Structure 1
Amino acid sequence: MSLQIDVWSDVVCPWCFIGKRRMETALSRFEHADEVEIRWHSFQLDPAHAKGHRVPVQEMLATKFGAPPAQVDAMQRQVTELAAAEGLTYHLDRAISVNTLDAHRLGHLAAEHGLGDQMHERLLKAHLADGELVDDLDTLVRLGAEVGVPADEARDVLQGSKYAAEVQADIDQAKRLGITGVPFFVLNGTHGVSGAQSAETFLSALEQAR
């Protein structure tokens, strides 16, 4: 009996990386982990973000929440500490907010090569830890190559519009399911886990879904 986990996530979402780690911790304690298949689905936190527009995340958050820099810094520190508890090192002061469509298209290409999980991981790290521009063509080709996606194929895809329809289909499915924020996990199509829940909560959901 297999168990499918469908995950909606954005590659610039700090909570999504934390949620991914907590899911993995839960799976490491789940006695049927060998039966689990994980499928990553695209979600854009800000689909209206103009393509090619790059702005420091701290500036973007200050504008979005109408918050003073000190409040944004406090928010960033809190999420960085929570990430550290999961073994992740964030450098959110370096993070640049971009349109994530091309990163998600690369994710779909990687999934075709059986590398969906590795690609999503690398893109999250690139944005949240390394301060990489995850909308830059050469950067995306290099990140893809790092996990095993053929560079020529990645460049070809990213220079066109391939997989844009698949990205939109994921986003449309999220809307139908009532998903308004990420990460969001659907277990066997029956159990939903919203947000970066604790590993214990996730393990309990896994056991119920099975």
Structure 2
Amino acid sequence: MMSKAQIKIDIVSDVVCPWCVIGYGRLKAALANFHTKIDANIVWHPFELNPSMSKEGENLRQHLSEKYGTTLEGSIKARAMLTEEGKKVGFKFDYFDDMKMLNTHQCHQLLHWAKDSGLQNQLAETFFEHFFSNRGTFTESELIHLVEKVGLNSLQAMTVLANKSYSEEVKLTEEHWHQRGIHGVPLIIFNGEQALSGAQEIATFERVLNQYLK
């Protein structure tokens, strides 16, 4: 019996990025087609789209209008399109009028903390679902609940947030990506060799994965 190919997949992402959700969903779909041939170790890396966002957040439509010049009509069309693309990969986007863009620095501290737990991937998925599917925000109490939900230690997580234990590591990692010329996410890197930017199609991911078969 042939052994499976071992692949490390680094994903540079923010938990409030809809295209990160879609890109990850397409990657998962591609990996599912190789489940008998490839073992993938997925590692998430921080990239805050809005590092200076206040804790209270800002109305999402207003934020996109000020940052990108998005009109109301454009916002409605974009949300409808993202919702449809989400459905194709089994993800529910539940956009609503009062939805806010949030500060995600604490989320990334917790993801960094969870990196070696075997549950980092589940935590990232839970953050996506909490924000986009369940109309959640990222208050500390909500974050601790999500940590517990995936089976991580809530007391340790409380300490991480209270002490800002990984805040500096998150900032340094983000600076590393900026210095490499990364200005948008998702960025998905295979075995430290090949990088795909943006939410690529499933077939594109499959072509890359095929190169790693023994």
TM-score, scaled to structure 2 = 0.90
User: How much does 1:53 deviate?
Assistant: 3.0
Aligned to 1:44, what secondary structure does the other structure show?
coil
Structure 1 residue 59 and structure 2 residue 84: aligned?
no
Counterpart residue number, 2:100: 96
Match of 2:169 among 158, 166, 169: 166
1:49 matches 2:42: no
| Aligned residue among 33, 36, 54 for 2:38 | 33
Q: 2:88 aligns with which of 85, 88, 95?
A: 85
**Structure 2 counterpart of 1:126:** 130
Question: In the TM superposition, what whole-angstrom CA distance separates every residue of 1:167-192 from its partner, at most 9, and x where no partner exists?
Answer: 12321221233221111011111101
Contact 1:55 1:96 in 2 (8 A): yes
Once the two structures are superposed, the pairs formed by residues 9-28 of structure 1 within 5 Å of their partners are 9-28=13-32
Task: Give TM-score scaled by structure 1 length.
Answer: 0.92
- Distance in 2 (CA, whole Å) between partners of 1:107 and 1:24 is 19
1:209 to partner: Cα distance: 4.9
**Offset of residue 86 of structure 1:** 1.2
What is the count of residue pairs matched by the alignment?
207
Alignment equivalent of 2:180, drawn from 174, 177, 183 = 177
Counterpart residue identity of residue 33, structure 1 = I
Which aligned segments of 4 or more residues in structure 1 are displaced greater than 4 angstroms?
none
Q: Distance in 2 between matches of 1:95 and 1:204?
A: 37
Instruction: Give the share of equivalent positions with the same residue, in percent.
Output: 31
Task: Name which of structure 1's ranges 143-152 and 53-62 shifts more when overlaid on structure 2.
Answer: 53-62
Cα deviation code 1:85-121 (max 9, x no counterpart): 1111101225321111001111112223221100000
Instruction: Tell me if the contact between 2:6 and 2:38 (Cα under 8 Å) persists in the aligned partners.
Output: no
Read off the aligned partner of 1:99 and give its amino acid letter.
N
2:202 matches 1:199 = yes
User: What SS does the aligned partner of 2:174 have?
Assistant: helix
RMSD over aligned Cα, in angstroms? 1.6
- Which structure 1 residue ranges, 5 or more long, are not aligned? none
- Distance in 2, matches of 1:113 and 1:27, equals 21
CA pair 166-126 structure 1, distance change in 2 beyond 3 A: same
**Could you say which residue in structure 1 is the equivalent of 2:121?**
117
2:20 is the counterpart of 1:3: no
Structure 2: runs of 5+ lacking an equivalent: none
